[in-house]
Structure 1
């Protein structure tokens, strides 16, 4: 069973009117192995933090969201577009490496640490101290992150087709050297295992509303967990039979079945993944 934090579960059940039905919340939480006490404590913390307002008591209560921030399960459309375009062979690599170098004074070490985190989040890899690389044209995003940290003056951008580290110069070997591809692949293998099992359940049919919600949330959580650390390297830089392609296809097939009988008032999670399925089905093979 996919392990999901209770806070994340609450986030996943927010509907278009910014409410969470607590009866639904307790029912899905129970299927995921969470106790009622766990749910009550989470609701108490979320309301104390000001993220939700509770109306009513117990399972008949309604939580009303006070936040307009992007939900933890809401897919990043730009990220997904690149992901599935690469899977379909529509985004070939041009062989160009994009590098960012920086030398930030010690007095700005906290901002420097935040910049490093941002570069990793954007799919970059450290080549050596103060030098990061990506196969993607990430300059716009890096400038945005560095500008927010007031570090743009400390950055240098360059591109090259001739890159080596030590004796390693083949792009496949460089990618294996710089990015944790083994760990990313293992994450996709776990996602594929879950999606294979849930696809069989969905294909068999007969699942109730609570069961369908549970499957949807498990899939969304596992998809997020597998894709967030993925730098989305072009296929030219990945080992043959990269498990990410198969896992993402299985998830898309699961969501096609989940969305086949959509109900009014369902959580926004369903609308978000409807966009994912639309993106995939509009991408030619």
Structure 2
């Protein structure tokens, strides 16, 4: 759903008819019930607006959803999968929470992983570069329990050691190899009904990869790091599917112009 919304609603000032979403998702084997349930859940969580026009219900993006999708867009197109510009700086986060606050601890860890941090040792997390971890703590209401600072390594510590101690590079590489096995073939997803379905599945697979990638410094990774080939493959396939997918989407999608607050415009 995030891939679909990012491709066809982000930045367009439109809401989409629920029936159109159902028709699009049928192409990738998602049931009508699952689509309706997901749309309703996202609306309840403040991610989607709901607008009724006659008997039709249209769903648009809230500012919160726009922020989430913009973050995904930046990770895909701006940040990229390979970090070649690291300046040697690390962001470090230390925290200590009372034993009873296990949910807060879980939420903080989840948000740190999402932001590209790895656990160096108990209660100490690191990420390459300058990372706005203070915003994470503030958003979760945990500022008083979190310490954030930036630093560079010093002897006897080596940056390469930090990379391999805090991050499971073998697992990260395995995810990119799985992507290559699925998509680096002469006719990827030949059994998919059309290029709209292939585009949605391609972007979903790639977004899942880059969202879980901590963007580690390339200088501390293998020379044949699979993200390099995987990113080139993604961009090539995206260019291949983009225009035919857009034509198909225009044929099946009924949209409604809306203002930023979700009301018809």
Same structural fold, with TM-score higher than 0.5 when normalized by the shorter chain: yes
Kindly provide the CA deviation profile for residues 35-90 of structure 1, in whole angstroms up to 9, marking residues without a partner as x. 34444555565677784345566xxx55332633335665242674333673xx4x
Select which of 61, 64, 67 maps to 2:59.
64
Structure 2 gap ranges (5+): 254-265
1:161 matches 2:153: yes
Taking a change above 3 Å as real, the CA distance of residues 78 and 187 of structure 1, as seen in their structure-2 partners, is closer
Q: Give the aligned partner of residue 28 of structure 2.
A: 32
Q: Secondary structure at the match of 2:149?
A: strand
State the alpha-carbon separation in 2 of the partners of residues 35 and 212 from structure 1. 19
Give the length in aligned residue pairs: 242
Q: Which has the higher contact order (CA 8 A, sep 6+)?
A: 2
**Secondary structure at 1:69's aligned position in 2?**
helix
Deviations 1:184-236 (A, max 9, x none): 22221222233324x7469x9xxx9x722211111111011111111000101
Contact 1:127 1:133 survives alignment (8 Å):
yes
Question: Partner of 1:121 in structure 2?
Answer: 114
How far is the alpha carbon of 1:237 from its aligned partner?
1.8
Taking the aligned partners of 2:38 and 2:148, their CA distance within structure 1 comes to 45
**Bigger strand share:** 2
Matches of 1:78 and 1:46, distance apart in 2:
22
Q: Distance in 2 between matches of 1:177 and 1:43?
A: 40
Question: Under a length normalisation based on structure 1, what TM-score does the superposition of the two structures give?
Answer: 0.66
C-alpha separation between the residues in 1 aligned to 2:178 and 2:220? 22
Query: Which residue in 2 is equivalent to 1:277?
Result: none
Give the 5 Å matches for 1:1-285: 8=2, 11=5, 14-15=8-9, 16-22=12-18, 24-42=20-38, 51=48, 52-53=50-51, 55=53, 61=56, 63-65=58-60, 67-70=62-65, 74=70, 75-77=72-74, 80-83=77-80, 86=83, 89=84, 91=85, 93-105=86-98, 110-138=103-131, 141-148=132-139, 149-151=141-143, 154-162=146-154, 169-197=157-185, 200=187, 211-260=194-243, 262-263=246-247, 266=250
CA RMSD of aligned residues (A): 3.8
| CA spacing shift, 1:81–1:101, aligned 2, 3 Å | same
Q: How many angstroms does 1:181 deviate by?
A: 1.7
TM-score (norm 2): 0.70
Q: 1-side partners of 2:145 and 2:229: how far apart?
A: 42
Give the direction of change, closer, same or farther, for the CA distance of 1:45–1:252 in structure 2 (3 Å limit): same
1:95-127 Cα shifts (integer Å, max 9, x gaps): 344433334455766545433333222212212
Which structure 1 residue ranges, 5 or more long, are not aligned?
1-6, 268-285
